[in-house]
Amino acid sequence: MKKGLLFIGLLCFQFYVFAQQDAWVYLVDKENVTTSIANPTTILTQKAIDRKIAHNVTIDERDVPVNENYIAQLKNSPGITVMAKSKWFNAVHIRGSQTDIQDLENLEFVSHVDFANKSLNTSKTVKKAKVLKFKETYNMFNYGNASNQIEMFNGDKLHEAGYTGTGMTVAVLDAGFPNANTLVAFKRLRDAGNLMGGYDFVNREANVYANTASNHGTLVLSDMAGYIENQFVGTAPDASYYLFITEDALSENPVEESYWVEAAERADSLGVDVINTSLGYATFDNPNYNYTTSNMDGNTAFITKGANIAFEKGMLLVNSAGNSGNDSWGIVGAPADAAGVFTIGAVDANGNYAAFSSRGSAIQPTRKPDVVAQGQASYVIFQNGAIGTANGTSFSSPIMAGGMVCLWQALPDKTNAELMQIVRMSASQYDVPDYNLGFGIPNLELALNTALGEIQNNDGLENLFIYPNPVEAFLFVKTVEDNFPITISLFDILGKQVLQSTLSAPNDSLDVSTLANGIYIVRLHASDITKTFKLIKK
């Protein structure tokens, strides 16, 4: 089974010879770093700069491109093929014989080499030092076949309020988008000028529609952007979309991780808000490159480390959990293991766990999956224009990603981390998460109401406050009504509960002195009613 595509039913058999090796070549420095950062429009679009400013994301050396002169020298090195590059890692993915790759360590601009086959890294080279409120607008869609999959998390309520993705930009990183430029299902998207083009990183060409090795990306895109009047509506039909091919449907090789990082970097430079990835990596055609389940720790796989940087850059990354629930692997793969990735598992139309959906484990630094959406018998639009069903977390991910796009449109001042936590807290089993469903099925209407301070049915808690805020040591709860006892829970921005206590009287307090400085979410619960606050610990 093709592991990269998180879509049940894709089988591909082929024989390979493993004489060539894959490796990452890390470089010692970059050109014109200070000048580039001082003049960010030379390396980023204005939209990307505006997004970073809005979310307090620093433009740093990682935003500066890789030195093209170094890349040219690598291309001219005997036996070396350059496959991909990453400005975030200041690294180049290359392919060649073991000897030819090891010879690159003699180049003065090469910091070190990291083979995909880790057994070849036994004599690790010492790294060289660097050289120098709701709108009164209503969109009443007839969702047709797609009704259940959006209504499950109340995404339709966001549409009714006028939040359909307008002004938001999404990058879809996938395997192929045949006919997306001609299908009637995407005519609304094209007519609005919201199909922004893209790039095929596998074949190094701008035409992403010519690659017909897989139709996977077309199906994924349909769950967000598809529109056939009275028959099908995607979850973010009015967002803008870039399409990037990073998955080679004919093979499984670590270079696809590098393609993904390249695409994420380009998405960042273009000002993309949300990335959807219905891909995952664990094992490869060459077993020497395989990861182990213990490597799914949120910081080992190259693509996972890249995803964490993308999160730091302010983008929201939504990723399929994987389809290994029924096999020996079992758990989520990379990059879904990353703390900075919003990982989506799958349920059926009734909200029950889909047995194929990959599970989380204690190996991950945060609860995985984060939430779930319909991934069993999900409705999609195929490359011939027909509406049908398909199974896989490949589809629960874009279904939820579109909902997140609309929610972020409604809450533009929220950071990616805050948005993720708001959605977790709205989910069906937030108090009792597990490794099958994570925090459960979200309620995006509740998430929006909560974020806007318009909590429904909050009688008795209108005059409930926390103080002081910011806080250094002790946190108190103030209320005009006699709402005690009150359970107070603190969560970090990645959704991990860090403190919980029950306050029985007005003079009771919660000691937060041991917490690291930063932003936390405070959840107060009294008499079956909940209220949330943002807390700053200093």
Instruction: Say whether 121 sits in a helix, a strand or coil.
Output: helix
**Catalytically annotated residue among 93, 112, 159, 216:** 216
**Euclidean distance between CA atoms 107 and 127, whole angstroms:** 12
Instruction: Say whether 359 sits in a helix, a strand or coil.
Output: strand
What's the N-to-C CA distance of the chain in angstroms?
A: 50
Q: Which two tokens stand for residue 130?
A: 């660097």
User: Cβ distance 346 to 357 under 8 Å?
Assistant: yes
**Euclidean distance between CA atoms 7 and 356, whole angstroms:** 10
Instruction: Say whether 99 sits in a helix, a strand or coil.
Output: helix
CA 259 to chain centre: 16
Instruction: Say whether 216 is catalytic.
Output: yes
- A 10 A CB-CB count for 167 gives 13
Strands (E) in 327-433, as ranges, are 341-347, 371-374, 378-381, 387-390
Instruction: Say whether 394 is catalytic.
Output: yes
Q: Which residues pair with 64 in a beta bridge?
A: none
Q: Which two tokens stand for residue 184?
A: 């009637």
Beta sheet of 529-537, edge-to-edge order: 497-503, 486-491, 518-526, 529-537
Q: Which two tokens stand for residue 200?
A: 């095929």
Instruction: Say whether 285 is catalytic.
Output: no
User: Cβ distance 342 to 295 under 8 Å?
Assistant: no
Q: What Cα–Cα distance (Å) separates residue 26 from each residue in 130, 255, 267, 311, 413?
A: 11, 15, 22, 21, 36
Instruction: Say whether 250 sits in a helix, a strand or coil.
Output: coil
Q: Which two tokens stand for residue 444?
A: 């995006």
User: Cβ distance 336 to 322 under 8 Å?
Assistant: yes
**Catalytically annotated residue among 36, 240, 357, 394:** 394
**Euclidean distance between CA atoms 247 and 297, whole angstroms:** 22
CA atoms within 13 Å, Cβ hemisphere of 287: 1
Give the H/E segment covering residue 304.
Answer: helix 302-312
Q: Which two tokens stand for residue 523?
A: 């959840």
**Catalytically annotated residue among 22, 174, 337, 492:** 174
Q: Which two tokens stand for residue 395?
A: 């589809």
Q: How big is the chain, counted in residues?
A: 538
Query: Which region holds residue 341: left if phi is over 0, alpha if psi is between -120 and 50, else beta?
Result: beta
**Euclidean distance between CA atoms 512 and 469, whole angstroms:** 12
The pair phi, psi for residue 434, each rounded to 5°, is -135, -175
Catalytic residues: 174, 216, 394
